[in-house]
A and B are shown apart, each in its own frame.
Chain A
Amino acid sequence: MTLLSLRGVRKSYGANVVLHDFSLDVAQGECVVLIGASGSGKSTLLRCVNLLEVVDDGVVELAGRDITDPRVNADQVRSGIGFVFQSYNLFPHLTVLDNITLAPIRVHGVAPPEARRRALAMLTRVGLAEKATAKPDELSGGQQQRAAIARAMVNNPQLLLLDEVTSALDPELVGEVLDLLRDLKREGMTMLVCTHEMSFAREVADRVCFLHQGRPLEIGPPAQVLDNPQEPRTREFLSRLRS
């Protein structure tokens, strides 16, 4: 079953067209990894799906509903989608626990004790139970990113968007975040991920999509796109990564 469907999405900033007539389907439980050079439109695509950007044209459908219709309640749509940012974006004035309970209490109407219980359970899952009362700046980068993933996951989103979530991390901290994402994938979480971690793409992705100048140039199973790319531009990109 298709959970997310993009059809003919276009997004530009002034004269700079970032996404051209972009179409992509993501099935329930599928993990699609977006790869491509900086500026190829990966992050913009995620932001359009989460309605943090308004598309110029085209349709984004989530569970059969056109969420790019200006009449839909964007806050309500976002509350069902998890978003994890490259720079974590935890709220620095709140403790880790309060970061995680904010949306359950304020958006989903969960009673505070229950929200705290769920948040602690989620923190235990990501291995940060003992950091519940710490402020974000007392955590390492990897810990902050795991807390940010917990913050997104505590709302039981139907779709998780991950925007270069390991790019700001030291190499030895990348592993702990990727392990967590692997677990989520195994549990059937639908994920749209943009990353430069080819090992993650190879191991976790059901399909890999190579973006070039705002278009999906090549899409298919990781073995095909990463190991046997058909498009010269994909080959060029991958060889640049390896060198």
Chain B
Amino acid sequence: MSWEPSALQQERTAYRRRQARRSTLIAAGSSIVLLVLVAFGIGSTPGWPRVRETFFNADRAWEALPTVAQGLWLNIRVMLICAVLIVIIGMTLAILRTLRGPIFFPLRVFAAAYTDVFRGLPLLLVIFLLGFGVPALQLRGLPSDAVIWGGAALVLTYSSYVAEVFRAGIESVHPSQRAAARSLGLTYRQTLRFVVLPQAVRRVLPPLLNDFVSLQKDSGLIAVLGVIDAIRAAQLETAIDFNFTPYVVAGLLFVALTIPLTRLTDYVARRQGWYGVGGGPV
């Protein structure tokens, strides 16, 4: 059966279209005005020519790009490897904390103490402790590579954050879901694996992503151990002529990394319907 919109509905559609066009125009207009004001405002400050020369020098940016990008490649590798370990350790810690029964008491205490300590310690301190402290022990068989110890510090700190995110997700699953699973005869472990964790992980995906964007930036902190990552590379470039443009290049590259990651996660989550059956007029 074909449907011909009534005159009333056609009028509504036309009205909505006019409104949409008006909104676009207003948005474009206000954006342009704001940009002009900002550009003019900053451009008219007395120090602007110097700042532009020091921070936004196009030639300098182009020159520094290969070195900084090479440093960034290290950040990416560190971040990817750490992220995998962080998810595994964080998930394990979260599960340990939810276990019941007297047998698991030491494990629960260990997990709680671990998250308490490494969430509280400043990351930089952990990097120093591991990066300079452990190699100084001169134990045979331990790696002395600064990247490895810097990465270990990132894993220790971030897995305690991620463990708490996972735990919040696990506890957000309604008890009636556990009751339903147990009523079918599923064991505690099966209930966790097939009913609780799948729902928990979907729920904590956005905050988890937040932690990984943060990890991406904090991976630059291992530079204090003498590793040449993007920030350290930019610093070395800057030291040549005291032009800070390489820092800006590094910053832009970090932003360029995180934006696609965020959009991708949002896209996947929405397509899978993880955020619920959203939409509707409100």
Which of the residues B183, B199, B276 comes within 8 Å of A50, measured between beta carbons?
B183
For B179, B181, B183, B190, the residue with the greatest tally of chain A CB atoms inside 10 Å of its CB is B183
Closest to A103 in B: B184
On whether the beta carbons of B180 and A89 are closer than 8 Å, the reply is yes
On whether the beta carbons of A102 and B182 are closer than 8 Å, the reply is no
On whether the beta carbons of B198 and A85 are closer than 8 Å, the reply is no
On whether the beta carbons of B176 and A85 are closer than 8 Å, the reply is yes
- Interface check A93, CB cutoff 8 A: yes
On whether the beta carbons of A89 and B184 are closer than 8 Å, the reply is no
On whether the beta carbons of B182 and A75 are closer than 8 Å, the reply is yes
Of A22-30, A76-84, A113-121, A183-191, the one with at least 4 CB within 8 A of chain B: A76-84
- Nearest-Cβ distance from residue B101 to partner chain A, whole angstroms: 13
In A66-122, which residues have CB < 8 Å from any B CB? Answer: 75-76, 78-83, 85, 87, 89-93, 102-103, 106-108
On whether the beta carbons of A107 and B177 are closer than 8 Å, the reply is no
- Interface check B28, CB cutoff 8 A: no
On whether the beta carbons of A106 and B180 are closer than 8 Å, the reply is no
Which of the residues B184, B187, B277 comes within 8 Å of A137, measured between beta carbons?
B277
Report chain B residues within 8 Å CB of A155: 184-185
- Interface check B273, CB cutoff 8 A: yes
Report chain A residues within 8 Å CB of B273: 135
- Interface check B204, CB cutoff 8 A: no
- Interface check A52, CB cutoff 8 A: yes
Complex CA gap A152/B187 in Å reads: 16
Which of the residues B180, B190, B202 comes within 8 Å of A93, measured between beta carbons?
B202
Q: Chain A 178-207 against B: per-residue CB contact (8 Å), 1 yes, 0 no? A: 000000000000000000000000000000
B residues contacting the other copy or chain, number (CB 8 A): 20
Which of the residues A87, A92, A93, A107 comes within 8 Å of B184, measured between beta carbons?
A107
On whether the beta carbons of B199 and A93 are closer than 8 Å, the reply is yes
- Nearest-Cβ distance from residue A118 to partner chain B, whole angstroms: 14
- Nearest-Cβ distance from residue B42 to partner chain A, whole angstroms: 50
Report chain A residues within 8 Å CB of B198: 93
For A76, A91, A93, the residue with the greatest tally of chain B CB atoms inside 10 Å of its CB is A93
Give the interface residue-count category, chain A.
Answer: 20 to 34
On whether the beta carbons of B185 and A91 are closer than 8 Å, the reply is no
- Interface check B194, CB cutoff 8 A: yes
Report chain A residues within 8 Å CB of B202: 93
Complex CA gap A183/B181 in Å reads: 25
- Interface check B208, CB cutoff 8 A: no
Closest to B201 in A: A93
Interface on B for A, CB 8 Å cutoff?
Answer: 176-177, 179-187, 190, 194-195, 198-199, 202, 273, 276-277
A-B contact pairs, 24 of them (CB 8 A): A52-B179, A52-B183, A78-B183, A79-B184, A81-B183, A82-B183, A83-B184, A85-B180, A87-B176, A89-B179, A89-B180, A91-B177, A91-B195, A92-B199, A93-B199, A102-B181, A102-B184, A102-B186, A103-B185, A106-B186, A107-B190, A108-B185, A135-B273, A155-B184
Instruction: Kindly list 15 other residue pairs between chains A and B, CB separation below 8 angstroms, not including A75-B185, A89-B176, A151-B184.
Output: A85-B176, A89-B180, A90-B180, A93-B199, A93-B202, A102-B184, A102-B186, A102-B194, A103-B184, A103-B185, A103-B186, A106-B186, A106-B194, A137-B277, A155-B185
Interface on A for B, CB 8 Å cutoff?
Answer: 50, 52, 75-76, 78-83, 85, 87, 89-93, 102-103, 106-108, 135, 137, 151-152, 155
